[in-house]
Amino acid sequence: MINQPEQTELVDAVSQWAQRLNSVAEGGHAEQVGRLFEEQGHWREALALTWTLVTRSGRQQLAGPLAHALKAAGAHSFAIDARRCAPRIVERAQQRVVEAILRFETRIGDCAALLRLRINDDGTMSPAAWTFHTALESIRGHDETTLRAQREEPVYERDWRGPTWLERRQAAARFDDLEPTVLIVGGGHAGLSAAARLNQLGIDNLVIDPMARVGDNWRLRYRTLKLHNQFHSNHLPYMPFPSTWQRYLPKDRIANWFEAYVECMDIHFWTGTRLERARRVAGSNLEGEHWEAVVRCANGTERTLRPRHLIMATGVSGTAKIPDVPTLDRFGRTVVHTSAFRDGAAWKNKPVMVIGTGTSAHDVAQELHGHGARVVMVQRNPTMVIEVEPSAQLYDGVFLGEGPSIEDRDLINTSIPLPVMLATHRALTERALQQDRPLLSALENVGFQLSSGVDGTGWPYLFRSRGGGYYFNVGCSNLIASGDIGLIQYRDIEAFETNGVRMQDGRLVETELIVLATGYHGLQHTVAQYFGDEVAERVGPIWGFDPDTAELRNMWTRTPQPGLYFTGGAFSQCRAYSKTLALQIQAQELGLLDAALR
């Protein structure tokens, strides 16, 4: 029988560890700091001590950098944060641990930490940390609460002839007489999250998006689109979705919420506006370097904006990838990429073909089938298939059920270092494969090639490493397994012809439409389009894990190109890391980073 420690024991164990850290933090001695960690312990840092995002794994690898960082930052007063989720017992990567949120201070600001101590079978707790996460919460004297109080308007206007709140907001959004400090390119959840955070820090920013209406990046996609994970993890900062909403949000509800969010969060948003090009220039009438960003506005005119910072929030995928498919140019009918596909109604009773078996491919195939088209899918690579319920939701466990606040859950989620995350996902994937065996066996019986992700780690690492390669089954897999949607393997195609594809066995599979569900180029391709090849090469790869830092490359952090940042990914990632991104920009605006020890 496994013993369960009492709550007082959890508090005592965490407090003792925190006091030991306090006693050695000022000394900067690697050996003393190393004794606080297990041999295979982990430290994940987010700005608090080094102004960087980095993970160090293994006592020998983390002790020296952490000891130096603690001393250099003047870290002190580590203690349990009584305002946040109390220490509790949870399971992470099949390990029973006590998980506790700490607070601490540095010379710069107020910080949070998350500590995990493993629990032994006899109920005792390891005195050494398994994982330790440090995160900057606010810059002292420039925190959101203080700045909000400074912005508070008087109870009533003394000059009743002066501009109203609405008139001031409309004038500010035009940026007639000033430049935005930050230009945000992209008005989806990534851009809106960043803008909302910057607003609360008093940093002028402008969001631009080529769509005609806020939310059109969701509104104009295919009719039946829904989020494939539950809404609990998908809130935007400061304004959670109403608890009365359905668990899986339809695209039009998300789009309408974005519109309301822009108004409620006072976000300056130019619709119908596209970034044409941008270059970094030395200071002239502005202080320091800045961007000259040429944008084409909704009325067709060009305007040059001069922000100091530019955030690319166009998603983790760039432009549509149209592969060089041999002989496809012989096909004489309609070819469209999924990014341009809108509605299946026009293809009723017609043969259609979807090339690809990722999420978009399945959704488009199901949309076409629902409108009465005769659908065939072409599989190019093995694909992970997972039932949307309950299996796909296993990976979102931090956000499900009653418990901590969304802010605490974000800290818990971002505190998990990559090796622990992969171990967790590997165990969850094994469980999902067992739960989904009836469906997976039925798919295998019709020749569908299955994957379990990279080294069995499931869909989250596929998303973080390549942005696709999986499908949450919301019905399409059942249609494939039953034969209602046909399946052929790409390797069995001999050549495309005017009215279809010729198979290697001589059969002709006729089709009037080919939908290319072939994915998107990476963000580095997008960078080259807007900023040129030199900047793209300087920045390097974006997204996917950096083996040196165990963090996503060039995401939510300063890049090798000064003044250029990237945000994107899941709602939960953009919500949590928008704070990290905004704090870095605030620190630079306050002149703190130049003096910081890195």
Pair 373, 484 in one domain: yes
Is residue 357 in a domain? Answer: yes
Pair 477, 331 in one domain: yes
* Joined tokens for residue 521: 């180029």
Q: Cα 312 from chain centroid?
A: 13
Pair 299, 280 in one domain: yes
Query: What residues does 51 pair with on adjacent strands?
Result: none
Is residue 160 in a domain? Answer: no
Is residue 153 in a domain? Answer: no
Q: What is the pLDDT of residue 225?
A: 83
Q: What is the pLDDT of residue 2?
A: 64
Residue 534 has pLDDT above 80, yes or no: yes
Q: What is the pLDDT of residue 594?
A: 63
Domain ends where: 464, 487, 518? 518
Pair 508, 584 in one domain: no
Domain ends where: 93, 118, 139? 139
Phi/psi at 190 (nearest 5 deg)? Answer: -70, -50
Q: What is the pLDDT of residue 478?
A: 98
- Mean pLDDT within 478-492: 98
Q: Which of 68-77, 130-139, 370-379, 516-525 has the lowest mean pLDDT?
A: 516-525
Residue reference for tokens 């230009």: 183
How many Cα neighbours within 13 Å face the side chain of 414?
Answer: 29
Pair 54, 199 in one domain: no
Pair 327, 470 in one domain: yes
Residue 169 has pLDDT above 90, yes or no: yes
The domain that holds 493 is classified in CATH as 3.50.50.60
Q: Are 75 and 65 in contact (CB under 8 A)?
A: no
Is residue 549 in a domain? Answer: no
Would you place residue 284 in the very low, low, confident or very high pLDDT band (cuts 50, 70, 90)?
low
Q: What is the pLDDT of residue 597?
A: 35
* Mean predicted lDDT score pLDDT of the chain: 94
Query: What residues does 374 pair with on adjacent strands?
Result: 351
- Tally of domains within the chain: 3
- The predicted-structure confidence for 19-65, as pLDDT tens digits, reads as follows 999 999 999 999 999 999 999 999 999 999 999 999 999 999 999 99
Q: What is the pLDDT of residue 354?
A: 98
Pair 314, 329 in one domain: no
| CB neighbour list of residue 219: distance below 8 Å, 6 or more residues apart | 213, 251, 252, 255
What sign for the dihedral angle of Cα 315, 318, 324, 329? positive
Pair 13, 69 in one domain: yes
Pair 238, 99 in one domain: no
Q: What is the pLDDT of residue 596?
A: 40
Is residue 175 in a domain? Answer: yes
Domain that holds residue 402: 322-518
Burial of 369 (0-12, 13-18, 19+ CB in 10 A): buried
Q: What is the pLDDT of residue 227?
A: 87
Would you place residue 286 in the very low, low, confident or very high pLDDT band (cuts 50, 70, 90)?
very low
Pair 402, 513 in one domain: yes
The domain that holds 14 is classified in CATH as 3.10.450.50
Is residue 146 in a domain? Answer: no
Is residue 551 in a domain? Answer: no
Burial of 13 (0-12, 13-18, 19+ CB in 10 A): buried
Is residue 550 in a domain? Answer: no
Would you place residue 519 in the very low, low, confident or very high pLDDT band (cuts 50, 70, 90)?
confident
Pair 312, 343 in one domain: no
Q: What is the pLDDT of residue 287?
A: 58
Q: Are 78 and 102 in contact (CB under 8 A)?
A: yes
- The predicted-structure confidence for 212-271, as pLDDT tens digits, reads as follows 999 999 998 878 788 888 888 999 999 999 999 999 999 999 999 999 999 999 999 999
Domain ends where: 102, 122, 139? 139
Pair 218, 196 in one domain: yes
